[in-house]
Amino acid sequence: MKKLSIIILFLVILSLGFSYLIPLPQKGNDGTFSFEAISKNDMASRPTRSSFPIYYMEIEDANTHLAAELDIFFINSWGEPLDDIQINLPANMVGVNNIEVFSLKINNKSVNFKSYTDKIIIYLPHTMMPEDTVIISLSFETHFKSNFTRFGKYDEIYLLSLWYPVIAPRIKDNWVSFQWIPHADPYFFETAIFEINLYTDKDIMSPHPYTHTGNHYRFKTLPIRDFSLVMGTLAGINRKIYNGPEISYYSRDHRIDLVTNTQDVFNFYSEKFGPYPYSSLVFVDVPMDYFKGMEFSGMIFLNEDQIIDLFTVAHEIAHQWWYSLVGNDQLNESWIDEGLANYAAYKYCQEKGLPVADIFKIYFSLAENTYRGFPIVRKLQDFPSAANYRQAVYLKGANFWIQVEEMIGEEETFNYLRKIQNQYQYEIIDTEILIQGLVEDYDLRASDLHKLLK
């Protein structure tokens, strides 16, 4: 699909040392992509970092499935040589081939690879050194063979999360494979930029900017953690936040106060954690099991069959900072984003003088006593049960920050978390980053902080 001249163009650009250039696709009349180099002066709304993968997709909605051509412009930003690249197939975690890959090439050439149900290992013909680039081309289809929370076709509503092949995250020199745990979030993603042409006769609910002509939707995103959307017909309500994004809420049966509460929660977090860089935040009522809500970049799924309380709304919005903007390894350190989201929701409710804050303060304390001696920095599969996971990660995880607050004060706790947002936006953090930062900034003892997690 891509001409060899594309590869030559990239090599010429890189050989000239123009590391600040990010290629953008221009679609020709023949349906192929060419690339146009954009300098820093033309990138006011674009990231200063040039190492984000860029996903270019052409997608046809065939009703029963999506048929897609995908090109990933990938830069080895890991600081180490790579002999292989892992592509995860997130919607296949449940053991069903919802994503089917039909062809795979590197730089328009055939390559050796090994396929598994949930991933593909590409064996590179040559070692890929740091800052080297390749174009990974795949033809794939996404089917709806097995619905699960977050993904599938429900009547005429299509939940499109975890729906496309994605370069696996990499932790401690190893590619990370996803493992299905129904009561948790057994996946996480490196930030990427998406440029997508989607052809469908369905309505689209998406937080990502697009232009729309007939059945053609064209998306161009800023760096985001995932590209998720909903297709179908639901009634929508829109509200613009002053100096903030547009809030959209789609549902069959709107909950009247949800949008109003959302605006207030959003403003609280913007003040405490820093600005939200995207133009919209979308809520959609959808069918879900196990959860009241589920976060994605710029989008939140809400369980259409459950009452959505204010604490839940605040928790899910907090994930736009703690998951979307600053990520973590959710398979091994899920306490980070879930604990921070619960702490943030608690602080919002406390600020507003809501009784639920007092209730959750008791929950946090009970969890600390119940799970003393139970380390919460552990693999998802090492939690004995779903209830055990939720109580330990969500409650004891939040209580860590309450105890940090007792050590350094509320204002400094928020100052520290805002610093983490500034320093690690679009990155992946871990427990050691959080603890070492507290040690360095506030002269706390690492052993005391680790003890709070055990």
The second-level CATH assignment, the architecture, of 234-320 is 2-Layer Sandwich (3.30)
Return d(Cα 168, Cα 363) in angstroms, integer. Answer: 36
Dihedral angle, C-alpha 146, 148, 154, 160, nearest 10 °: -100
pLDDT score for 49: 44
Q: Provide the pLDDT for residue 244.
A: 84
Please, what is the Cα angle at 81 between 40 and 189, to 5 degrees? Answer: 65
Backbone dihedral angles phi then psi of residue 217, each to the nearest 5 degrees: -110, 125
> Domain 49-229 carries which CATH code?
2.60.40.1730
Q: Phi and psi of 96, rounded to 5°?
A: -120, 140
* Residue 346 in tokens: 């608690």
Instruction: Check if the beta carbon of residue 287 is closer than 8 Å to that of residue 304.
Output: yes
Dihedral pair phi/psi, residue 231, rounded to 5°: -115, 140
pTM, two decimals, is 0.88
Strand-strand pairing, 193-199 and 54-61: parallel
Q: Which of 225, 438, 116, 176 is nearest to 332 (CA)?
A: 176
In a 3-state reduction of DSSP, which class is residue 423? helix
Torsion of CA 192, 68, 219, 30, to 10 degrees: 120
Measured CA to CA in angstroms, residue 316 lies from 128, 166, 295, 342, 343 at distances of 38, 24, 6, 9, 12
Q: Residue 174: beta bridge partners?
A: 171
The domain limits of the chain are 49-229, 234-320, 324-454
Q: Which two tokens stand for residue 55?
A: 């996903």
- Any idea which fold 324-454 has? Neutral Protease; domain 2 (1.10.390)
Residue 61: strand, helix, or coil: strand
Tens of pLDDT along the chain (454 residues) come to 444 344 333 333 333 332 222 333 333 333 333 333 333 233 233 334 458 999 999 999 999 999 999 999 999 999 999 999 999 999 999 999 999 999 999 999 999 999 999 999 999 999 999 999 999 999 999 999 989 989 999 988 999 999 999 999 999 999 999 999 999 999 999 999 999 999 999 999 999 999 999 999 999 999 999 999 999 999 888 888 877 899 999 998 777 678 888 889 999 999 999 999 999 999 999 998 889 999 999 999 999 988 899 999 999 999 999 999 999 999 999 999 999 999 999 999 999 999 999 999 899 888 888 888 899 999 999 999 999 999 999 999 999 999 999 999 999 999 999 999 999 999 999 999 999 999 999 999 999 999 999 9
